[in-house]
Amino acid sequence: MVSLDERLEAVFQEVIRRNPAEAEFHQAVREVLESLGPVLAKRPELVECKVIERICEPERQVIFRVPWQDDTGEIQVNRGFRVQFNSALGPYKGGLRFHPSVYLGIIKFLGFEQIFKNALTGLPIGGGKGGSDFDPKGKSDNEIMRFCQSFMVELHRYVGEYQDVPAGDIGVGGREIGYLFGMYKRITNQYESGVITGKGLGWGGSRVRTEATGYGSVFFAAEMLKVLGQELEGKTCIVSGSGNVAIYTIQKLEQLGAKVIACSDSDGVVYDDAGIDLELLKQVKEVERTRVSAYAERKKGARYVPDGNIWEVPCQVAFPSATQNELNGKDAAALVKNGCIAVAEGANMPTTPDGIRAFLEARVAFGVGKAANAGGVATSGLEMQQNASRDYWTFEHTEARLQQIMRDIHRTVYETAEEYGAPGNYVLGANIAGFLRVADAMLAFGVV
């Protein structure tokens, strides 16, 4: 563990004391605090104004009951969350995660990350996150609908175009956004498109939003490689996960001439030396909503290993795109040993602190999630722009905007790292640049 400046250590200890048993939240806070030492040296007024203490405390947290009836008629009870972390730069903005592992600590870590990520996009959006411990796996379409409707019956009180704008995350995609928006529209009797993003293209959605997180993380990786005098064309890559982010990471990599030889889900890993067949993967995951093992059963030459470790596959560029803490110090060491030169985090906090340290020490270009995966929320911001102007943009225009945003984030993060004496350290650059944008707005507002 990197030791903290004593003022930051005191802030961190207070965060632990006030938020007991929330390990992921502590981890996300610690990573940011570890970057802020050089900022305090330059900007002592930030200490006096207690802006770091304020940023670590969510503006509002809502926890609610979500009762629903399953297909057998039995009543189920889940827990819903919305953490409205910071609105200094705009309405709270961030996804909803439906996964059985969800508890307050997960939503708070995601909401905390979201503050700085959203600031890095340069768009006027604050940070928030929500979700439920509901497990969508094995549920019928009707059960998903009833759950989403019940969730929105409570959530609608706290969201709005100018207040808080949710979107998808793990377990929440286009289908769920449709059910959520439909219920919000019904309750409020208003067609308030800007209340949620990730909508369908026929009813207020933005082109490229589905692809945006994956495409964005590939654009970010391309920028990192450019600094190294390299390009993605011809590179061998691995992408963990096989959900929304993973699929569109694979698609953009293939378009740019890279080869993706492995992907995964929480049950196992698929290896395909010929390169993942995207159409088949989409059929298996998006249409049939089944497991990656089904891909290997149908694709000649592909192999499936239950409980396999994807990070043992030799590659030049890795894209952790499944979930938090999926890549540890040992995994990072294996990647480095096998010749990996760049990592772009499509997921939120997929690399453990040990893993990050191993990458930084080995001088691997390590694109931290709050920078590398910001393309999803950035395109949500573009969806909000289109909704506000009652307009739809073309795919080409929207993708060009996304690419420019990712380039700008890369430049900002890279230059900030240099300015603060850590050239090439994207973790430090992203944390400082994101933090300063939020902190400066908060200072302007007085004691808020």
CB of 382 to ligand 2IT, least distance (A): 10
Residue 170 interaction partner, one of ligand 2IT, ligand NDP, none, beta carbon < 5-8 Å per kind: ligand NDP
**Does 22 contact ligand 2IT by CB under 6 A?**
no
CB of 250 to ligand NDP, least distance (A): 12
Task: Compare residues 92 and 435 and give the one whose CB is closer to ligand 2IT.
Answer: 92
Cβ neighbours for 3, distance < 8 A, ≥ 6 positions apart: 9
Residue 66's DSSP bridge partners are 78
CB of 112 to ligand NDP, least distance (A): 13
Stretch that binds ligand NDP, among 228-236, 240-248, 269-277, 415-423 (CB under 6 A): 240-248
Binding flags for ligand 2IT, 87-126, as an x/- string (CB under 6 A): ------xxx------------------x--x---------
Cα distance between residue 74 and residue 332, in whole Å = 45
Catalytic entry in 117, 129, 285, 370: 129
Cα distance between residue 408 and residue 400, in whole Å = 12
Q: What is the 3-state secondary structure (H, E, C) of 352-382?
A: CHHHHHHHHHCCCEEECHHHHCCHHHHHHHH
Q: How many CA atoms lie within 13 A of 384 on its CB side?
A: 26
Burial of 258 (0-12, 13-18, 19+ CB in 10 A): buried
**Does 169 contact ligand 2IT by CB under 6 A?**
yes
> Which of 126, 376, 429, 434 is close enough to bind ligand 2IT by CB under 6 A?
376
> Which of 35, 132, 197, 398 is close enough to bind ligand 2IT by CB under 6 A?
197
Cα distance between residue 160 and residue 70, in whole Å = 29
Residue 94 interaction partner, one of ligand NDP, ligand 2IT, none, beta carbon < 5-8 Å per kind: ligand 2IT
Residue 93 interaction partner, one of ligand NDP, ligand 2IT, none, beta carbon < 5-8 Å per kind: ligand 2IT
Binding flags for ligand NDP, 347-366, as an x/- string (CB under 6 A): xx------------------
Which of helix, strand or coil describes residue 145? helix
CB of 440 to ligand 2IT, least distance (A): 22
Task: Compare residues 52 and 107 and give the one whose CB is closer to ligand NDP.
Answer: 107
Task: Compare residues 19 and 249 and give the one whose CB is closer to ligand NDP.
Answer: 249
Quickly count: other Cβ atoms within 10 Å of residue 118's Cβ: 31
Interface residues for ligand NDP in 81-100 (CB under 6 A)?
99
Helices 375-388 and 209-227, interaxial angle, to 10°? 130
CB of 361 to ligand 2IT, least distance (A): 27
Stretch that binds ligand NDP, among 24-32, 167-175, 300-308, 335-343 (CB under 6 A): 167-175
Confirm whether 129 is a catalytic residue: yes
Residue 75's DSSP bridge partners are 69
CB of 135 to ligand NDP, least distance (A): 9
How many residues appear in the chain?
A: 448
Interface residues for ligand 2IT in 330-369 (CB under 6 A)?
348
Q: What is the dihedral of CA 397, 398, 402, 404, to 10 degrees?
A: 20
Task: Compare residues 114 and 321 and give the one whose CB is closer to ligand 2IT.
Answer: 114
Q: How far is CA 399 from CA 181, 237, 252, 278, 427, in A?
A: 25, 22, 12, 20, 25
Cα distance between residue 434 and residue 406, in whole Å = 14
**Does 387 contact ligand 2IT by CB under 6 A?**
no
Cα distance between residue 140 and residue 158, in whole Å = 28
Which one, of 182, 186, 183, lies nearest residue 203 by Cα?
A: 182
Residue 197 interaction partner, one of ligand NDP, ligand 2IT, none, beta carbon < 5-8 Å per kind: ligand 2IT
Cα distance between residue 266 and residue 127, in whole Å = 28
Site residues (CB under 6 A) for ligand 2IT? 93-95, 114, 117, 167, 169, 197, 348, 376-377, 380
Residues annotated as catalytic are: 129
